[in-house]
Structure 1
Amino acid sequence: MPPRRKLNEFERGRAVAWFQDGVPKREVARRLHVSISVIVRLIQRFTATGRVQERRRPGRPKKTTPREDRLIERLALQTRTASSSIIQRQLRVATNTNISQQTIRNRLHGFNLRSRHPAVRPRLTPAHRAARRAFCRRHVRWTRQQWSQVLFSDESRFTLNHNDDRLRVWRSQGEPYIDTTDQEKVAFGGGSVMVWGAFSLHHRTPLFHVQGNLTGLRYRDEILRPLAVPTLQQMGPQAVHQDDNARPHRARVVNDFLQQPGVNRMEWSACSPDLNPIENLWDELDRKVRSNHPPPRCCSLSGRRFHRGSSPPWSTL
C-alpha cells in the first residue's frame, strides 16, 4: 500500500484534471503515491461541491501534526519514567512546537499509554538470576510425592491496623476531611504480633508466638529444636525443611545445628520470588482474624506458646 500522506491543493486539482481526462482513479492514486480511497473521496467531494478544498472541520484544530504525535509516543517509550514536562521540553527542542503538558498527556492517552505506579521487584544481579534458573531446573520435574516431603516455614506479623493505602471510600467533591470519609492511622500499625509456623501436605507444627526480636540462637532453641525438627522426624527420612534467607535463619549457629544427621534443608536462592505456599495461609489467617465481630483490639497472646498438645489457632484453616 502506498504510504499515507496529505495532498496539497495543487495536487488535488491535478488529480481532478487527470480524472476528467479519463485517467482511472487507481492510476491517479499511483501517480500521487496515495491510497485509492483518498482519490475516491476527493472525486466525491468535487462532484458534490465543485471544489477541491477540504471542508472546514468542526472544533479546534490540533496543535500537533501526526509526525509530532508519533514523536511524543517515541519519547515516552524511550524513557518510560519521563514526565509530561520533560517530554514537553524535548518536543520543543526537536520541533520548536510549544504545547501544554495536558496536550502531551492527551496524545499519550490516544496511544493507550497512561501513567501508572511501577511494579516493584527486587534488584537482581546476574548471580541472582543464575541461582533462580538453577533452582527451577532442579525442581521443575518434582512430583507431588516429593513436594509432600517439604516442610514450609515462615514468620508473619499481624497488626491491628493496615497502613497500605488501599482503602477506598465513596465521597462527593469537597468532603475529604469529614469523619466518615477519612482514615485514621496509627504509627507502626498500632500494635502487632509475630508468629512462626510450618506445614507440609500431611503435617503442621504448632503456631509459635515470637516475642521480641528473633535471633539465630532463639530460632534454634525456641523454634527449630522443639518444633521443626520433631515434625521433620515424624515426616520420615526424606523430609526437607524450607525457610527463607532471613538473617536469623542463616546464622552460623543455625547452620551448624541443621548439619545434624536426619535433617535435610532446601536451598533457597537470594532475592527469589516468594513462592512459599505458607504466604497464602498467612493471608487466609489474617482474613479470618479480621472477620471476627467485634474485631480484635489487642495483639497480646498472653505471652504463652501453643504447645504440641494444644489445638493451634490455625487448625481450622
Structure 2
Amino acid sequence: MSLRSQDGQRIPNSPIAAAKNSGAISEGVSQRKIAKSLKLSSSTVHNIIQRFRESGTISVRKGQSQKTILDARDLRALRWHCITYRNAIVMEITPWAQEYFQKTLLVNTIHRAIRRCRLKLYRSKKKPYLNMIQKRRRFLWAKKTVLWSDESKFEVLFGKLGRNVIRTKKDKENPSCNQLSVQKPASLMVWGCMSACGMGSLHIWKGTINAERYIQVLEQHMLPSRRRLFQGRPCIFQHDNARPHTASITTSWLRRRRIRVLKWPACSPDLSPIENIWRVIKRKMRQRRPKTVEQLEACIRQEWDNIPIPKLEQLVSSVPRHLQTVIKRRGDVTQW
C-alpha cells in the first residue's frame, strides 16, 4: 500500500521515512493500517500525527526531552565521593547527594548517575586481613631472592548440579534445580609439595593433623621428594605458619636434619604457587563430582599426577612478579 501526503507526494515505505513524513498523511487511511504497513506501533504513529497537528512539525521541540538532574560538574563530585568511599552502598550515597547538591534525588537516579560516571558496583574480593606488622614482614620477605608445600581440605560433593543451573524463573523450587548439601560432608586432608622441577609426593589422611603426624609426613614424603626433584642440590623448604609447622618439636626436627626453612609471613597465601595447584584440582573435583571418599582420593591423586611441568614452571616464574607487587604495595595483599 502506497501512502501519499496532502500535497500528493508519495511517502516511502520505511520506518525512518514514516517518522519524518507521517504527519502529512492524507485523511482516509486509518492509523492502524499505517502502522501495520510501515511496521511501526500504533502509538508511535498516533504520537507523530498528533505532534504534527499541534505544532506543524514532527520534530521534538527543544527542551521537550527529559533534562538530566545532575550536570557534568555534579557527576565529577559524585565520582570523587564514590571513589573516596568505595564501600558505601547506594542507599548511603543518596542522602549525601541530596544534601550536597541540594536536590531531591532518588536511589535509582543516583544508581544511573554512578553508571554515567563510568563506575559499576562489583562484589568485593575476599582477602586476608593484614595489620601493619604483618605488612612490614611481608615487605621485608619479598625483598629476598624454593620446595613449596601446603595442606588443603577436599570434601565429597553431593548431587549432580554445580555452582550454576539453567532454569526458568518459575523453576526456583523445582527439586531438580537444587544443589544438595549436607551439614558435615566427608572430607580428606591433603598434603603435597611441588617445585619448578616437578610435582612432589602427595599424602592423604583423614581427620586433623598434629605435630607428630606432620613430622611423619615430612620423613616419608618431603625428604624423598627433595632428593628426587633436586638430586642433592641445596634448596629451601617452605611451609606456612600452621600450628603443627611452628611447634617446637617440628622446628627442632628440621634443625637436626639441617633443612633450611623459608621464613613465612603470616596471612600470605597469595605468595605460595601451590595454592594455585589446589585451586586447579578443586575445580577438577567440581567437574568430576566424586560421590565417595575412595573416589575422591583416586581423583585427587590422578589430577595431581596430571599437572604438567610447564604449568609448574609458569607458577614458580610468576613469584618474582608477585614479590615486586608486594614491594610496590608496601606489603599489602596481591592478586593470586
TM-score scaled to structure 2, two decimals? 0.62
Aligned mate of 1:160, from 156, 174, 184: 156
Contact 1:229/1:263 (8 A) holds in 2 = no
Q: Residues of 2 paired with 1:302 and 1:171: CA distance? A: 29
User: Is 2:126 aligned against 1:115?
Assistant: no
1:153–1:197 contact (8 Å) kept in structure 2: yes
Match in the other structure for 2:292:
298
**Structure-2 change in CA distance of 1:128 and 1:181 (3 Å):** same
User: Please, which runs of 5 or more residues in structure 2 have no aligned partner?
Assistant: 1-59, 308-336
1:196 CA displacement: 1.0
Task: Output aligned runs, 1:36-115, within 5 Å.
Answer: 56-115=62-121
Secondary structure of the structure 2 residue equivalent to 1:258: helix
- Confirm or deny: 8 A CA contact 1:207 1:312 kept in the other structure: no
Aligned: 1:178 with 2:178? no
**Aligned equivalents of 1:166, 1:316: Cα separation in 2:** 23
Alpha-carbon shift at residue 289 of structure 1 (Å): 4.7
Given the alignment, which residue of 186, 197, 200 partners 1:191?
A: 186
Indicate yes or no: 2:142 matched with 1:136.
yes
Measure the CA separation in 2 of the matches of 1:68 and 1:97.
11
Query: CA offsets per residue over residues 156-204 of structure 1, 9 Å max, x none?
Result: 2111239xx982233333332223433233224x321111122334465
- 1:113-262 alignment runs, 5 A limit: 113-139=119-145, 150-161=146-157, 167-188=163-184, 190-202=185-197, 204-220=199-215, 222-233=216-227, 235-236=231-232, 238-262=234-258
Aligned residue pairs, count: 242
Q: Which runs of 5+ in 1 are unaligned?
A: 1-53, 140-149, 304-310
Contact 2:157 2:286 in 1 (8 A): no
Separation in 2, partners of 1:301, 1:219: 24
Distance 1:94 1:282, change over 3 A: closer
Q: Does 1:264 align with 2:260?
A: yes
SS at structure 2 position matched to 1:219: helix
Q: Deviations over 1:253-281 (max 9, x none)?
A: 11111111432211212222433232333
C-alpha spacing 1:284/1:115, structure 2 compared with 1 (3 Å): closer
Question: Is contact 2:290–2:296 with CA below 8 Å preserved after alignment?
Answer: no
Shift of 1:55: 5.2
Q: Which has the higher contact order (CA 8 A, sep 6+)?
A: 2
Q: Give the Cα separation in 1 of the matches to 2:74 and 2:194.
A: 59
Q: Which residue of 1 aligns with 2:5?
A: none
- Does residue 314 (structure 1) correspond to residue 304 (structure 2)? The answer is yes
- SS of match in other structure, 1:274: helix
